[in-house]
Structure 1
Amino acid sequence: MDTLTAPEKSAIPTYSLQQNSTTGSSMIEVREAVPGSMEFVLDPAFLIPHRKDYYLFVLVKKGNNRHWIDFMPYTLKPDTFYFTVPQQVHLKEYAEPVEGIITCFTDEFLQLEENQTLKRLPIIQNPAGAHELLLKEQDVSFVEDVMRKMLVEFNTDGSWRNQMLSSWLRVLVIYLSRLYTEQFSETCFTLNYCLLKSFQALIGEHYATQHDVAAYAEKLNITPGHLTEVIKQQSGKTAIAHIHNRLIVEAKRLLLHTDLSAKQIANELGFEDAAYFNRFFKRIAGITPVSFRAQIREMYK
């Protein structure tokens, strides 16, 4: 049970790309996990709940580690592509050798003017909440070829190295987005769809301090009524439901991975009244916070 909670019992540590970097300052990191390399044996820190503040792309060639992303367990499979987005909670159940190629990149990279369109692609937005892509033989060949080109470029100091890395990463993101669309039937991109994604991104930034639709509408420079109408049309859920669901996700993360009390979690999420938080959680999740903690931790046994 100890591995379920963060070491301080009150916070989930976040690792930055710079902490895990071989260069110390790159917006893109590329490594190969092979016998004898640093990545062949898993860092013990990854056996406790943690977050990453960067995007993680992994082509697994060999390995069968079992790991969790938020509340979903995965057992790694060969020739499968795994990906996560910043701030999700990761937990490896045990450290076994994994072989493959790893690419990490920051949101700072996506904020560059020439990369703005990448931010809206399916593999980055991940509307299905997925974490793995099944690859056909030709997909494995293409993805591995691109990632190996990135690996070579990353490990050399040639002219225009960063530009080459960025170009190959753009190719990879676009190709994987095509596969994502095939496997998860991604919604067509429209102005209203972009508004939905902008709304969801804002919730991700402000969920602990802003709980009402009007506050987000003001940030988006539109009326609350228009925001509500577009969000409902695009997602099938109301705008307030998106806000509430994000709060529930974070509450569940803290219940699973920390020993914070329900009252402390309520405070972390911007609820002034712990009793109201308990009622809110039960209304949305169908279970009390205390019961959820006992139930979800039982799954790890």
Structure 2
Amino acid sequence: MQIHIDTIHPQKQPHPEDYPLYQIFLLPGPMEVAVDFISYHTTSASLLFLSPYQHLEWKTPTIQPVVQILFHGDFYCIEYHKKEVACNGLLFNNIYLRPFVNVSASVYDEIVHLVNNMKRELTTHSSFSTSVLKAYLQLILALSSKAKKQQVDMDLLTDNMEMQEGESFQQLLEEHFATTRSVSFYAGILNLSIDTFSRKIKRQLGKLPSTLIQERVILEAKKLLHLTYLSIKEIALKLHFEDEHYFSRYFKKYVGISPSEFRLQVGISIVAAK
């Protein structure tokens, strides 16, 4: 089975293992977590979404247990998966958005109910179990996406007047991330000094521009490793690295494993289903 549900205790394990799987955590109340060493504060019941090999740390471990759903990317709907691993996915693999969504008590309870149904289904071993589990997972993702879209729209209304440089940088980064990894390049286009540019982007997007550049390159590398049969050398060339060895070192520095290991663990069988 390519899906597993567990109950974990953050207080006992503040530094959980990095998994080659997608993960959803049901957080029952306000918490502070760090994802890829960047801290985030939830303000209510929420859901946290991690992509393969993202690093998680419980900064304020709660004594309350947390439900964890782990699944392989090929487990759920192919078209939904392709959309969600794109750079503009709402839940997974979006370097510009917070990795969690706050939800109302009613939505949280509804998702808990769906997870409990999934747990029961996992014990039946019916020939229909995979289809039923996929349907439950799709519904959880749909409810989460709806809540996340509402949250994003509200944030845009609140921050619209203060996000000019951040929005411009996002557009520029999407155009040039494969060819240019220099902060000075983007600062220059926006007619800002590097210090001013870095300060504005950190305030508006929550991360330094150097971090966002690195994350965008790694995101694209992960997508190409997961969803294509391009060789490591071809991916390195596509992302304008000097050679595949430099690309492999860069990838391992930020992900923790080599590109070939990532491809082996995360899988690319989804391509065959086109």
Q: Under a length normalisation based on structure 2, what TM-score does the superposition of the two structures give?
A: 0.52
* 1:59–1:81 CA contact under 8 A, matched in 2: yes
Distance 2:35 2:100 in 1: 11
State the Cα distance separating 1:42 from its structure 2 match: 5.6
Matches of residues 100-119 of structure 1 in structure 2 within 5 Å? 100-110=66-76, 114-119=77-82
State the Cα distance separating 1:155 from its structure 2 match: 3.0
For the pair 1:30 / 2:5, whether they are aligned, the reply is yes
Find the partner of 1:138 among 82, 93, 106: 106
Structure 2 partner of 1:172: 140
State the Cα distance separating 1:134 from its structure 2 match: 1.0
For the pair 1:237 / 2:212, whether they are aligned, the reply is no
**CA distance change for structure 1 residues 61 and 147 in 2, over 3 Å: closer, same or farther?**
same
Distance 1:250 1:126 in 2: 9
Q: 1:117 is aligned with what amino acid? A: Y
Structure 2 partner of 1:152: 120
Distance 1:173 1:109 in 2: 13
Distance 1:247 1:117 in 2: 26
Gaps of at least 5 residues in structure 1 are 1-25, 34-38, 187-231, 252-264, 271-301
Q: 2:131 is aligned with what amino acid? A: Q
State the Cα distance separating 1:52 from its structure 2 match: 2.4
**Any idea what SS the aligned residue of 2:40 has?**
strand
Distance 2:40 2:168 in 1: 32
Find the partner of 1:163 among 119, 126, 131: 131
* 2:92–2:99 CA contact under 8 A, matched in 1: no
Aligned residues with identical type, % of pairs? 12
Distance 2:124 2:20 in 1: 26
Matches of residues 84-123 of structure 1 in structure 2 within 5 Å? 84-93=50-59, 96-110=62-76, 114-121=77-84, 122-123=90-91
Distance 1:61 1:116 in 2: 30
Matches of residues 46-65 of structure 1 in structure 2 within 5 Å? 47=15, 51-61=18-28
Distance 1:92 1:29 in 2: 21
* 2:49–2:92 CA contact under 8 A, matched in 1: no
For residues 166-196 of structure 1, the C-alpha deviation after alignment (integer angstroms, 9 at most, x for no partner) is 111111111211111111139xxxxxxxxxx
Q: Which has the larger radius of gyration?
A: 1
Q: 1:164 is aligned with what amino acid? A: V
Distance 2:250 2:12 in 1: 30
* 2:28–2:46 CA contact under 8 A, matched in 1: yes
Distance 2:67 2:247 in 1: 40
Q: 1:40 is aligned with what amino acid? A: H
**Any idea what SS the aligned residue of 2:97 has?**
coil
For residues 205-226 of structure 1, the C-alpha deviation after alignment (integer angstroms, 9 at most, x for no partner) is xxxxxxxxxxxxxxxxxxxxxx
Distance 1:76 1:99 in 2: 16
Q: How many residues align?
A: 177
For the pair 1:269 / 2:250, whether they are aligned, the reply is yes
**Any idea what SS the aligned residue of 2:214 has?**
helix
**Any idea what SS the aligned residue of 1:74 has?**
strand
Query: Stretches of 4+ moved more than 6 A in 1?
Result: none
State the Cα distance separating 1:109 from its structure 2 match: 1.9
Q: 1:81 is aligned with what amino acid? A: L
**CA distance change for structure 1 residues 125 and 94 in 2, over 3 Å: closer, same or farther?**
closer
